[in-house]
Amino acid sequence: MNGGERAGDGQHRLEVRGLTHEFARADQAPLRVLEGLDFAVRPGEFTAIIGPSGSGKSTLFNLVAGLDRPTSGVIYVDGRAVTGHSEQVAYMPQKDLLFPWRTIEDNAALGLEVQGTAKKAARAAVRPLFPEFGLDGFERSYPAQLSGGMRQRAALLRTVAMQRSVLLLDEPFGALDSLTRTQMQLWLAQMWQRHSWTVLLVTHDIREAVFLADSVHVLTSRPGRLAARVVVDLPRPRTTQTFLQPEFARLEQQVLSALGTTSDVP
Amino acid sequence: MTTPVIAGRTGRRVWRTLWPPLLLAVALIAGWQLVGQFAIRDAQVLPTPWQVVSAGWQVRGDLWHNALPTLEETAAGFGLSFVLSWLIATAMDFSDAARRAVYPLLVASQTIPVVAIAPLFVVIFGFHLLPKVLLVALATFFPLTASLAEGFATADGDAMRLLRSMGASRWQSFAKVRVPGALPFFFTGLRVSITYAIGGAVFAEYAGAEDGLGIYMQQMQSVFRRDLVFATILVIALVSVLLFASTYLLERLVTPWRRFETRRGSAQDRT
């Protein structure tokens, strides 16, 4: 995993420099979805990206995951430029995308399997993670037998099991009901505290962004530019008490107004 | 743990599925018996169900000996068609050019009247197994190939992207996502085509064979044993129903996860 093009300041796990992306359109000027995006994520930092619909959040993720090539600009992970599909980033999409024909442990082991680990070894590698993800005893269950929250935890387990430098979480709790979502946020805050993953989270939910992240990047609507960077210095570990702090409300307000001044959506 | 409950539920469901067609079949057979016995009263025109069954039972040895080659042709032809359908559908999934080249020909192959081509096959390939196998394959491989190709194509775009982000090769994505996702579609195609299989074999025998249910039926026709013609048809129908039912069993074994999916859930997964 060493070698390749090295760059950046060496302190950041993920660096996005001058990122611009356009989609070609038939008979029209290309559609610019991201413009001059610049930010960096330190190892073990939890960063949230928030923005109105059409601010290019999903595009940003595809670029960081190496699924698309940017029109211009560079992305570095651990100092290496991302070209083509990235072996350094683990991606958790909006939908849980657990495959109905695989048991939970086989779903969790999929990333390792794809990378060439034998099926048995891959299963053995993911099994110890089950208790921590609240999935103990569900190793052999099929996704259809699990609740929404459990499915999201299984999807996160699959993401984490790949042991990559950066976790990309694309609205991971967007499809859950409000109560389950809050439980999942509390749980994720706890898990992050314990493992110090480097996380880039995309979300629509201001509360979620402020509660989980160390810093929140606010994007403008199309083309997505960085409108504001809100540093969240709420104490860790964050718990249900965090929601009640005046500072929490103030930060929420700050993100909201950063969004409000940029949004052209009524 | 919950096996007895599931088994009980399955039993009830099987019964719920079976009683309407059984009832209808009994009613139809009773009506046939009455018409044959009291209205037509001529076994040369319409033998009654009872005459059919008792005549068939008397020649059960002949029926059995003729059923074997027909089953052999069906199995070989269907096996060929199974292998071909996977090869062709896979090629079509990997290459758009292959898809565009092959699909029209597949459809065209379906418009060939078996009546016309069966004697031709016999002339070309002789009286033995081969022409029958080819005809069974011709009659069955289109539904298999088409359902499989459709099944591959329904793979979720986001799922393919997830696999790519994991670093999966095209082949890995195919084997791990597209193939298992296509299986429910494949079984639908399998059920359609398996009902053509025996019919295809019987028809192929019509065009020329040494033994088999098709040729037996033709012989009985020519000696005016209409009761035995019907008995042969009965055997063909029974075997077809058995084959059809066996696809459900096979589906359960191959796709064990599907019993946990609600109808709505699986419909959502497919969109």
Per-residue pLDDT tens digits for B199-218: 889 988 888 888 999 999 99
Q: DSSP secondary structure string, A64-106?
A: HTTSS--SEEEEEETTEE--SS-SSEEEE-SS----TTS-HHH
In this prediction the pTM is 0.82
- Residue A43 domain boundaries: 1-85+194-266
When divided into structural domains, chain A yields a total of 1
- Residue B85 domain boundaries: 60-270
Quote the pLDDT of residue A263: 45
Quote the pLDDT of residue A57: 84
- Please determine, for residue A188, whether its predicted confidence score (pLDDT) is greater than 50: yes
- Please determine, for residue A3, whether its predicted confidence score (pLDDT) is greater than 90: no
Q: Which residues contact B229 (CB under 8 A, 6 or more apart)?
A: B217, B220, B221
Chain A positions in Cβ-Cβ contact with residue B176 (cut-off 8 Å): 99, 110, 113-114
Chain segment A247-257, per-residue pLDDT in tens? 999 999 999 89
Q: DSSP secondary structure string, A143-175?
A: GGGS-HHHHHHHHHHHHHHT--SEEEEESTTTT
- Please determine, for residue B151, whether its predicted confidence score (pLDDT) is greater than 90: yes
Share of residues in chain A with pLDDT > 70 (%): 93
Q: How confident is the model at residue A1 (pLDDT cuts 50, 70, 90)?
A: very low
- Please determine, for residue B52, whether its predicted confidence score (pLDDT) is greater than 90: yes
Is the residue at A114 inside a domain?
Answer: no
The three-class DSSP label of residue B252 is: helix
Is the residue at B134 inside a domain?
Answer: yes
Is the residue at A104 inside a domain?
Answer: no
Is the residue at B42 inside a domain?
Answer: no
- Please determine, for residue B263, whether its predicted confidence score (pLDDT) is greater than 70: no
Within an 8 Å CB–CB cutoff, is residue B255 touching chain A?
A: yes
- Please determine, for residue B249, whether its predicted confidence score (pLDDT) is greater than 90: yes
* Average pLDDT over all residues of chain A: 88
| Best B2, B166, B262 residue to mutate vs chain A (most A CBs within 10 Å) | B166
Q: Closest to A65 (Cβ–Cβ): which among B165, B177, B255? A: B165
- Please determine, for residue B266, whether its predicted confidence score (pLDDT) is greater than 70: no
Chain A: give the shortest CA distance to residue B162, in Å. 7
Is the residue at A44 inside a domain?
Answer: yes
CA angle (B235, B191, B215) in 5-degree steps: 30
When divided into structural domains, chain B yields a total of 1
Flag if B162 and A87 touch (Cβ within 8 Å): no
Quote the pLDDT of residue A94: 82
Q: What is the CATH number of the domain that holds B232?
A: 1.10.3720.10
Flag if A100 and B262 touch (Cβ within 8 Å): no
Distance CA A208, CA A41 (A): 18
Within an 8 Å CB–CB cutoff, is residue A145 touching chain B?
A: yes
- Please determine, for residue A141, whether its predicted confidence score (pLDDT) is greater than 90: yes
Within an 8 Å CB–CB cutoff, is residue B181 touching chain A?
A: yes
Quote the pLDDT of residue A7: 58
Q: Closest to A85 (Cβ–Cβ): which among B165, B255, B257? A: B165
Chain B: give the shortest CA distance to residue A5, in Å. 20
Q: Which residues contact A212 (CB under 8 A, 6 or more apart)?
A: A46, A48, A185, A188, A189, A192, A199, A201, A238
Chain A: give the shortest CA distance to residue B170, in Å. 11
Count of A–B CB contacts within 8 Å?
Answer: 65
Flag if B260 and A162 touch (Cβ within 8 Å): no
Distance CA A254, CA A234 (A): 14
Give A5 or B115, the one with higher predicted confidence. B115
Q: Tell me, what DSSP letter sits at residue A135?
A: -
Quote the pLDDT of residue A235: 87
Within an 8 Å CB–CB cutoff, is residue B208 touching chain A?
A: no
- Please determine, for residue B8, whether its predicted confidence score (pLDDT) is greater than 90: no
Is the residue at A92 inside a domain?
Answer: no
Chain segment A191-213, per-residue pLDDT in tens? 999 898 999 999 989 999 999 99
Q: What is the CATH number of the domain that holds A32?
A: 3.40.50.300
Quote the pLDDT of residue B270: 38
Q: Which of residues 30-89 of A touch B (CB under 8 A)?
A: 62, 65-67, 85-87, 89
DSSP H or E stretch at residue A40: strand A28-41
Is the residue at A14 inside a domain?
Answer: yes
Chain A positions in Cβ-Cβ contact with residue B177 (cut-off 8 Å): 99
Question: Rounded mean pLDDT of A150-159?
Answer: 92
